[in-house]
């Protein structure tokens, strides 16, 4: 029979490489409104941690792998208001219209280091999470 299959219970954190810590704080803290939290003292490399509900986002200063298709996907209560806030903070917003998810509207943006960010929320037709 072998060892029992483990089930993933929750997301602990997402780690992204960023190039400019001040610009990253402007995007994640100011534009998206995430709460920055203290990092453990043993972590001495430059970076920042942000809370996303019950999850954590770890930002590490340094180059990212070229050609990466990875992205961070976030759910928001009001996708339209957040899109306006992101644009007002000086970041591009590109709405995804080709691959419509029932009940969901979403847009893509990028942080100052070129990491792709997907922002999702209800389109008001059905509840979706």
CATH number, residue 109: 3.10.180.10
Q: Does the pLDDT value for residue 51 go beyond 90?
A: yes
Number of H helices, E strands in the chain: 2, 8
- Classify residue 36: in a domain, yes or no: yes
Number of domains within the chain: 1
108 belongs to a structural domain: yes
pTM above 0.85, yes or no: no
- pLDDT tens-digit series, residues 10-41: 677 888 888 999 999 999 999 999 999 999 88
Domain-located, residue 127: no
Tell me what pLDDT residue 69 has: 44
97 lies in which domain range? 13-62+71-122
Q: Report which of residues 62 and 65 the model is more confident about.
A: 62
Average pLDDT, stretch 90-101?
A: 86
Q: Is residue 129 part of a domain?
A: no
Inter-CA distances, 63 with 17, 66, 113, Å: 6, 9, 9
Within-domain flag for 5: no
pLDDT on residue 54: 87
């Amino acid at each position: 029979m072998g060892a029992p299959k483990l089930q993933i219970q929750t997301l602990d954190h997402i780690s992204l490489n960023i190039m400019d810590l001040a610009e990253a704080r402007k995007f994640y803290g100011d534009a998206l409104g995430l709460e920055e939290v203290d990092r453990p003292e043993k972590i001495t490399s430059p970076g920042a941690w942000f809370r996303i509900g019950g999850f954590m986002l770890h930002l590490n200063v340094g180059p990212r792998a070229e050609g990466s298709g990875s992205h961070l996907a976030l759910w928001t209560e009001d996708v339209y208001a957040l899109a306006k806030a992101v644009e007002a903070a000086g970041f591009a917003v590109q709405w995804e219209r080709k691959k419509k998810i029932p009940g969901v509207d979403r847009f893509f943006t990028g942080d100052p280091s070129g990491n792709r960010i997907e922002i999702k929320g209800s389109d008001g037709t059905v509840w979706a999470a």
